[in-house]
Structure 1
Amino acid sequence: MTFNDDSRLSGGRVKRRGRTAAVAGGGVVGIGAIVVLLLNVFTGGNLDLGTFLGDGTTQIQQQGETVDAAPECRTGRDANLQVECRMEGAAESLDGYWTAEARTLGISYTAPDFFLFDGSTDTSCGQASAATGPFYCPPDRAIYLDTAFYDDLQSTYGSSGGPLAQMYVVAHEWGHHIQQLQGAFASTDRSGTGASSGSVRVELQADCYAGAWVGDAANTEDADGETFFEPISRAEIADALSAASAVGDDSIQERSSGRVDPDSFTHGSSEQRQRWFVRGYQQGATSCDTFSVAGSSL
């Protein structure tokens, strides 16, 4: 999506975090988790899965400074030119959308924290690196993202790229925060795998929530009542769908090992992820109940 050059960014929604040190656990979810877990399964890696699935430890000691990630970002023009400003603009639009939309879902809304980092950082869900990819950490109620992932999204995972592809990633993780507020994580068994598993349903709902935001994003407004975005084009929607496809279980499995195993799915196939994104885009957040859909229709 293209920001309205004249829209105003209030600032302060996205923070940049210094390197940290911690002993932690807690259950990471999001686009990054599929990359780490599937590469571990299909390449024989030695990743400690307990870090990402949660080992009950929540002690964390932070070292390093947390600062405003984009203090110089003031307008939509800035967001069109710089990725950090784009993250700030996306966060402000998402916050505005969910402040209003949460009422239709019957939840009390508070915004997640949103941290950018370089190289590595520690969270209550374990240590993250650029290779981990973006994720939402439920105990922290926070999104963590190294923007270097966007280069990998194109060069490694085959997305067409583009601003909306980047913002789809943020909107998906924001969707996980909405699920945290709804209690979906507590009520869903995410320990299993498979094409209709609880973990897949959680991820597809987050894709649907991302689509719901995109469908209404052009109506979100800054503090002055100026719309954040220009009308969304078909090419921009295609970029978002390309990103959703690139992080499908089958796409990553095929790329990493040359074979696809639906029984090991944790996030959904490329087709599922695109379809649920489109559903949210066309029908809104109230259409995103992936938990009541029969497995054959998921």
Structure 2
Amino acid sequence: MEFNQNAQLDPSQLTPGGGGGRGGGVALGGGLGLIVMILGLIFGFNPGSVLSGVSADTGTTQSNSNAYAHCQTGADIKNDRECRWVAYVNSIQGFWQGQFQQGAYQPAATVPFTGWKDTACGAADSQVGPFYCPADKKVYIDTAFADQLLQQLGAQGGDAAEAYILAHEYGHHISNLTGDLGRVQAAGNQTGPSSPQVRLELQADCYAGVWFKAVSQDPQGIISGVTQDDLNRVIDAAAAVGDDRIQESTAGQVTPESWTHGSAKMRQYWVGQGFSTGDPNTCQSVMTTDQLEG
């Protein structure tokens, strides 16, 4: 995956903002939050007080917006790799803005943080992984931990996998804007392979695939030069966060009735559906179809 050296970047889309009242919504991740909590029990690290409304260790530090102020063009990524996060966010939001009627898309800031962050969905420890908070319409991510987390889960990682993580979280933002997210939350806390919660996660995967398709077809975009290896890494990352993969590796058995994000096969299928069609309407169908695995 390559970055357009001449592309203009907007670092204001990454902000240290957040906070506000707690408990105003349920944070939605790509499966990483629950996974990290399980890994914490197995490998001995403390996942902290995650999204519980109770602040974690206040001795940790948080990032500030000035950290990305110098990320003005794609060429800046060569000098500072951290600028790639601005490129990811700008590309994703630029695409989705074009999919809505003029003025209808509501931008969602990405909030990079280190240690812990107080959000409208509660206090988040870094090790919870990336998530979308519908209460404040922001995406939260510890950028330093993201790739490390993917590798802990057995994924290949890399730029394309990182971009998939963010594209998935912005997929939740799209579901929020279309009303699908609200309808799923109103249905209550249901689990299982065909549950509304699983469908919502698969829809976010599908939206991520739609964005990757657009990127692969736009040589003048912020991100270009998408290769087969990049696509393989995206599919690999999607499989790594499948409920069945996690359950098998952590508990030694698979219990589908407790799934909240879908199996590896499901997640791969819906990323693939989004990419193969390039049509967001395909992702709407996941909420009703019986064909969730392909």
Q: Secondary structure at the match of 1:15?
A: coil
> 1:99, CA displacement in angstroms?
0.9
RMSD over aligned Cα, in angstroms?
3.1
Residue 264 of structure 2 corresponds to which residue in structure 1? 270
Is 2:149 the counterpart of 1:153? yes
Opposite residue 67 of structure 1, the aligned amino acid is S
Q: TM-score normalized by structure 2?
A: 0.84
- Contact 2:63–2:114 (8 Å) recurs in 1: no
Residues 47 and 128 in structure 2, CA contact (< 8 A), matched pair in contact too: no
Contact 1:93 1:220 in 2 (8 A): no
1:287 paired to 2:288: no
2:10 counterpart residue number: 10
Q: How does 1:133-148 map to 2 (within 5 A)?
A: 133-148=129-144
State how far apart, in whole Å, the 1-side matches of 2:137 and 2:238 are.
23
Structure 2 match to 1:118: 114
C-alpha contact (below 8 Å) 2:147/2:162 kept by paired residues? no
CA distance in 2, matches of 1:282, 1:166: 20
Structure-2 change in CA distance of 1:66 and 1:82 (3 Å): closer
Shift of 1:212: 0.3
Report the Cα distance in structure 1 between the residues aligned to 2:28 and 2:189, rounded to whole angstroms.
Answer: 12
Deviations 1:52-101 (CA, angstroms, capped at 9, x unpaired): 9xxxxxxxxxx988524411112223335645311111111111100111
Distance 1:129 1:49 in 2: 5
Report whether the alignment pairs 1:28 with 2:27.
Answer: yes
The structure-2 alpha-carbon separation of the partners of 1:295 and 1:232, relative to structure 1 and needing over 3 Å to count, comes to closer
Q: Provide the TM-score with structure 1 as the length reference.
A: 0.83
Q: Mind listing any 5+ residue stretches in structure 2 that lack a counterpart?
A: 54-60
Alpha-carbon contact 1:25-1:51 (below 8 Å) kept: no
Q: CA deviation at 1:51?
A: 2.9
What is the alpha-carbon distance in structure 1 between the residues aligned to residue 153 and residue 63 of structure 2? 32
Is residue 199 of structure 2 the alignment partner of residue 201 of structure 1?
yes
- Give the match's secondary structure for 1:76: coil
Distance 1:258 1:27, change over 3 A: same
CA distance in 2, matches of 1:47, 1:117: 15
Q: Is the 8 A contact 2:130 2:139 kept in 1?
A: yes
Residue type at the aligned position of 1:236: D
For structure 1, list consecutive stretches of 5 or more residues without a partner in the other structure: 53-62
Please tell me whether the aligned partners of residues 108 and 173 of structure 2 are also in contact (alpha carbons under 8 angstroms): yes
Answering whether residue 256 of structure 2 is matched by residue 257 of structure 1, we say no
Deviations 1:3-30 (A, max 9, x none): 1222221321112469x79754521111
Tell me, in whole angstroms, the C-alpha distance in 2 between the residues paired with 1:107 and 1:37.
Answer: 39
**Using the alignment, how far apart are the partners of 1:113 and 1:167 within structure 2?**
15
